[in-house]
Amino acid sequence: MKPSIILYKALPDDLLQRLQDHFNVTRVENLKPETVQQHAEVFASAQGLLGSSETVDSALLEKMPALRATSTISVGYDNFDVDALNARKILLMHTPTVLTETVADTMMALVLSSARRVVEVAERVKAGEWKSGIGADWFGIDVHHKTMGIIGMGRIGLALAQRAHFGFGMPILYNARRHHAEAEERFQARYCDLDTLLKESDFVCLVLPLTEETHHLIGKKQFELMKKSAIFINAGRGPVVDEAALIEALQSGEIHAAGLDVFEKEPVAVDSPLLSLPNVVALPHIGSATHETRYNMAACAVDNLIDALNGKVEKNCVNPQILR
């Protein structure tokens, strides 16, 4: 008999078929307690779980005594209680490679649109304000040859550095847990401590996962260290930044502008000051959201679950050590 799994995200037809070839699939809309209650028997017998953007905590795991593997359609897994998974020896699979280039593109889009005020001036054109030659109140600031500071030199940081260095002639500073030989060789990236990076960068680009260590890593003190002309970009996770401090820094002119794909709470509240500040470009967490990449992430997650339930965890596994 095929193992049972719960799917909590829509999949393209061909990927759903691939999943159904291997498993008995029950599709649910979400992992909320009422949904779990409604499908209690299926949750109780499911060996696999596949989807994204829902919380997987110990309360849910209690309802899933047969669970052996979870597969998230994302690189980030801060919505999973990894300790609780480890304690139960449940594998956690994710999609770390397929979205790298797309997220780096999104970050570059944030860099360009915040520096050149693309969204703001395009709205002014649509509002009929372009009536004669434009003056300095339409100008932005240059991107090319400015210094980019990257906090978090993982795969995405590297892909961003490549774009900035080769495409825009930007010197690269970076801060990470360790030196990154490839970044230093290919892009002459200079490793520096966080304070130095904040002081010297024209663009401060954050691409860190959310962990206990990174929570509110960037707050009032860090914004004060940045140049008044600095543009702050966040495409990692919202809670890495103290959002109240960010708002204060933008309102007081402590920093020049921000380009944000992620927020402390998502969706961001409609009355958040971030949405009324002209010097903010706010995106709805679209880092990896292209048709091609979201398909590739879903395909990767399907293969990951098939692999995990067959005990194959050579790649894309967050906690392979639990099998040892």
- What are the residue numbers of the active site? 237, 266, 285
Q: Is residue 74 at the binding interface for ligand DGY, with CB under 6 A as the rule?
A: yes
Nearer to ligand DGY, 202 or 261 (CB): 261
What are 193's two structure tokens? Answer: 């401590």
Amino acid at 178: R
Tell the smallest beta-carbon distance from residue 320 to ligand DGY (Å): 19
Look-up: residue for tokens 């829509």? 10
Sheet containing strand 190-191, strands side by side: 190-191, 172-175, 148-151, 203-206, 231-234, 257-260, 280-282
Nearer to ligand DGY, 75 or 217 (CB): 75
Tell the smallest beta-carbon distance from residue 152 to ligand DGY (Å): 13
Number of residues written out for the chain = 324
Stretch that binds ligand DGY, among 70-78, 126-134, 156-164, 178-186 (CB under 6 A): 70-78
Tell the smallest beta-carbon distance from residue 287 to ligand DGY (Å): 4
Q: Is residue 234 at the binding interface for ligand DGY, with CB under 6 A as the rule?
A: no
Q: Is residue 51 at the binding interface for ligand DGY, with CB under 6 A as the rule?
A: no
Do the Cβ atoms of 72 and 94 come closer than 8 Å?
A: yes
Do the Cβ atoms of 52 and 277 come closer than 8 Å?
A: no
Per-residue DSSP letters for 129-169? ---SS--GGG-----TTPPEEEE--SHHHHHHHHIIIIIH-
Q: Is residue 99 at the binding interface for ligand DGY, with CB under 6 A as the rule?
A: yes
Nearer to ligand DGY, 11 or 36 (CB): 11
Q: Is residue 96 at the binding interface for ligand DGY, with CB under 6 A as the rule?
A: no
Nearer to ligand DGY, 79 or 279 (CB): 79
CA dist 192 and 196 (Å) reads 6
Look-up: residue for tokens 């593997």? 69
Q: Is residue 154 at the binding interface for ligand DGY, with CB under 6 A as the rule?
A: no
Nearer to ligand DGY, 76 or 152 (CB): 76
User: Residues touching ligand DGY: how many (CB under 6 A)?
Assistant: 7
Q: Residue 310, Cβ neighbours under 10 Å: how many? A: 11
Q: Is residue 300 at the binding interface for ligand DGY, with CB under 6 A as the rule?
A: no
- Helices 291-309 and 13-22: angle between axes, nearest 10 degrees: 0
Tell the smallest beta-carbon distance from residue 276 to ligand DGY (Å): 25
Nearer to ligand DGY, 61 or 99 (CB): 99
Q: Is residue 75 at the binding interface for ligand DGY, with CB under 6 A as the rule?
A: yes
DSSP alpha helices (H): ranges in 94-242? 100-116, 118-126, 155-162, 168, 181-187, 194-200, 220-225
Tell the smallest beta-carbon distance from residue 143 to ligand DGY (Å): 23
CA dist 84 and 97 (Å) reads 25
Per-residue DSSP letters for 204-227? EEE-----TTTTT-B-HHHHHHS-
Binding mask 269-288 for ligand DGY (x = CB under 6 A): ----------------x-xx
Stretch that binds ligand DGY, among 54-62, 69-77, 79-87, 310-318 (CB under 6 A): 69-77
Tell the smallest beta-carbon distance from residue 91 to ligand DGY (Å): 18
Stretch that binds ligand DGY, among 72-80, 155-163, 273-281, 316-324 (CB under 6 A): 72-80
Nearer to ligand DGY, 52 or 147 (CB): 52
Amino acid at 241: V
Output the CA–CA distances (angstroms, integers) from residue 125 to 118, 134, 138, 266, 279, in the order listed. Answer: 11, 11, 11, 29, 17
Binding stretches for ligand DGY (CB under 6 A): 74-76, 99, 285, 287-288
